[in-house]
Amino acid sequence: MHAPEIEGPVHLSELYIYPAADSLYVLGETLANFNASGSYYPSNFFENFTFDRIKGRWRMQKANYRHEARLDPEIASLQFRNLPSNYKKEFLAGMIGGYARRAYQVIDPLCPGYTHEFLSYLVSGPILSVTQPREIRLNLSSVFANYGLKVNFKTSETHGSFSDIPRHLQEVNDYDLLLTTIVLILARLDVSQWINRLEKIDQNRTITRLLAILFRRENVSSWEGFIADLFRLKKKQYQYEDLISYQPAPIRGLFSFIEQFYVTNRVPEEDVFGEGLKLLKNTLATLAQNKVLNGYTYIEALVDGIDYLAQVADQQGDTMTSISLAQSSTILLQLLSPEPTGMEERLSRSEMSNYYWDNLTVDSTREKDNLLKNYLPLNYVAYNNSRSKTYLQCFSTSHNLFNEEKVSNHLWTALWCNRRLQRETLIFLHDLSSQLDTWREDQKQHYFLLLKDAFQSYVNGQHKFSDALVSYQKPNQIRSHYTDVFTGLEEVDAHTFLNVEQRATMKFHKALQADTFDGRTLVALQELVMAIDGVK
């Protein structure tokens, strides 16, 4: 067996690698993608890949020395041995870190334990950090299986319904029940069916009794005084207050959200998620301020639950509902973007969600209903806007941490995802513009608002990119490889291309100031798309 290439302790997560190894982190990810398909490059893979200065990522230029084999972590480790002497250990750690991040996503689900074994061949001693997808906080599939329920979309019910299936007993704790209920509320599913099933199977469980009282709004009585006492009109209210008082503080905190949702009765049907999100943010902020709980793990659980429902809707062919739920999941994830703890792990987990509609095109919808046919691509654009904003907010958090000298590197992978998504979205909206003549005025207005939002996010990404590059100009600061690429005098091609993109951006910004979508706006959008089409 070969000796390890790196002696620990060592950091392998992107935020803590050597700054000049930032682009090599992405090379490691690229190599893991090829290995996942059984292609290995054990003899100096640098001859096969080249760094694209315009796109900020690695691409294959030729396939010399390719070796086909089954998934094997020892064979994979051979690719990282006998590298050119100018690649010191800090660079190697960056490549290994990127490889591990991607391997945990695409190889470990097929071959459990692969990445851990791969790292054992190359690193001895403690690994201080390495990015893995965070653990699943709420397994909604197991919860529903335990209660014999299946979610059905594409039914006569607007937001989905439940049907019975054989029960498969699973371990479901009180937090699972409570968080599942909140997921169903935010996803606008039929909570009454869920409560009825809990009462049928777990009627003696305290959480079930509390949820049933809340759902029927029996925890608050309008009766007071002698009459209320005589006829015991406040029995359920007293029962609820007694039962809830014995619950742990986090349970009481989560119940407070459901109390506000149902008892205040101020959540409009047309915006349940939006209003529910406001209540949830206020609830968690209050609880965190009072040191009752750290809300990010509960938000992660809600993300898991809604993401599961989005996957189910997608599998059942309800694309519109799936996109809507996927966007809700992404918006919840945005709430956690200022939280550095677990940030890389959260993004890694979110990237493992795949949908049939991931690569939707302007002509790919088969819906016969014109209203749905027109709004489906717009909802897809809104979802991608939300995703790109999430990536940019996480990159911004990493930028703040870098300036505070709490980390050694930026979260560049998040920025590149943001840039790619925004460029693809603007191109998608340009392609969609050819259909606008057949749309109603309100649909055109929706299109124009999304276009402005996408462009503003695109510009914000450019600004954050510039801010990050400048942050490496401080005295004695180890320069990022990306800084050399985009600010170095030798990299004329990247400069020239980005200047073309910048000029097109300024022209489109001026066209949007008229606040109307007309022929001039369309021409400016076309020029912008031509400028970015080669970089996306």
Provide the pLDDT for residue 261: 76
d(C-alpha 463, C-alpha 346), whole Å: 24
Question: Cβ neighbours of residue 241 under 8 Å, at least 6 residues apart?
Answer: 219
pLDDT at 231: 40
Residue 203: its pLDDT value, please? Answer: 87
pLDDT at 492: 44
The reported pLDDT for the residue numbered 16 is 96
What's the confidence (pLDDT) of residue 53? 66
The type of residue at 285 is A
Are 224 and 237 contacting, i.e. CB atoms less than 8 angstroms apart?
no
- How far apart, in whole angstroms, are the C-alpha atoms of residue 177 and residue 210? 11
Cβ-based neighbour number of residue 496 at 10 Å: 11
The Cβ of residue 64 has, within 10 Å, a number of other Cβ atoms equal to 11
The contacts of residue 499 (CB under 8 Å, 6+ apart) are none
pLDDT in 10s for each residue of the chain, 536 residues: 677 788 889 999 999 999 989 889 999 999 999 899 888 877 667 777 777 766 667 877 766 666 677 889 998 998 888 776 666 788 999 999 999 999 999 999 999 999 999 999 999 989 999 999 999 999 999 999 999 999 999 765 567 889 999 999 888 999 999 999 999 988 988 888 999 999 999 888 999 988 888 887 765 554 454 444 544 445 666 677 888 888 888 888 888 888 877 655 455 555 677 777 777 777 777 766 655 556 788 899 999 999 999 999 999 988 889 999 999 999 999 989 999 999 999 999 999 999 988 878 777 655 544 545 667 888 999 999 999 999 999 999 999 999 999 999 999 999 989 988 998 999 999 988 888 888 888 888 888 899 999 999 999 998 898 888 888 877 777 878 777 666 554 444 444 445 667 778 888 888 887 767 777 888 888 888 888 765 55
Give residue 174's pLDDT.
Answer: 92
Quote the pLDDT of residue 364: 63
**Tokens coding 217:** 């709004």
Output the six-digit token pair for 297.
Answer: 């793990």
Q: Under DSSP, is residue 168 helix (H, G, I), strand (E, B) or coil? A: coil
pLDDT for position 481: 77
Quote the pLDDT of residue 369: 47
pLDDT at site 346:
96
Claim: this prediction has a pTM higher than 0.85: yes
Read off φ and ψ for residue 323, nearest 5 degrees: -65, -45
Q: Which amino acid is located at 66 in the chain?
A: R
Q: Which amino acid is at 463?
A: H
